[in-house]
């Protein structure tokens, strides 16, 4: 069974188009694209995000601001950082880091793996809340 995916991509139009093209062949997928942290404020927080992809077109400050915003509004989302200097951006806000020269197949595989992890985390949190009541 194919799991539905809700993906948020934040970066340049070219970066967001690459993600769109990667996800195009996959059924049951919703992509929301933003070009900066300010664009995130128009996305309903009630919506679901499994995986957020932050691209190297953003400055380190913008990357951090986006990650903080995403963690606050979609705490179960997994954040994938695509950046050439992944080792210099060692921040626990990001769940995974990849180089921008990745293939479409590699990106799709990583998105699906992170989405599965997000779903497990969400189910665990829901189960914990139920046991507290």
- Provide CB contacts within 8 A for 60, sequence distance 6+: 89
% of the chain at pLDDT higher than 90:
61
**According to DSSP H, which parts of 25-103 are helical?**
37-40, 60-73
**Domains in the chain and their CATH numbers?**
5-132 (3.40.50.2300)
Q: pLDDT band at 117, cuts 50/70/90?
A: confident
The structure's pTM equals: 0.86
As a residue count, the chain comes to 133
């Amino acid at each position: 069974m194919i799991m539905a995916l809700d993906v948020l991509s934040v970066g340049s139009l070219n970066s967001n188009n690459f993600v769109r093209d990667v996800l195009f062949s996959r059924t049951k997928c919703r992509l929301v694209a933003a070009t900066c942290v300010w664009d995130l404020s128009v996305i309903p927080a009630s919506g679901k995000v499994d995986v957020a992809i932050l691209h190297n077109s953003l400055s380190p400050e913008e990357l951090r601001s986006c990650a903080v915003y995403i963690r606050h509004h979609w705490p179960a989302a997994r954040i994938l950082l695509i950046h050439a200097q992944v080792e210099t951006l060692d921040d626990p806000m990001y769940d995974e880091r990849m180089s921008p020269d990745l293939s479409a197949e590699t990106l799709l595989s990583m998105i699906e793996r992170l989405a599965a992890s997000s779903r497990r985390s969400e189910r665990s949190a829901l189960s914990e809340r139920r046991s507290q009541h």
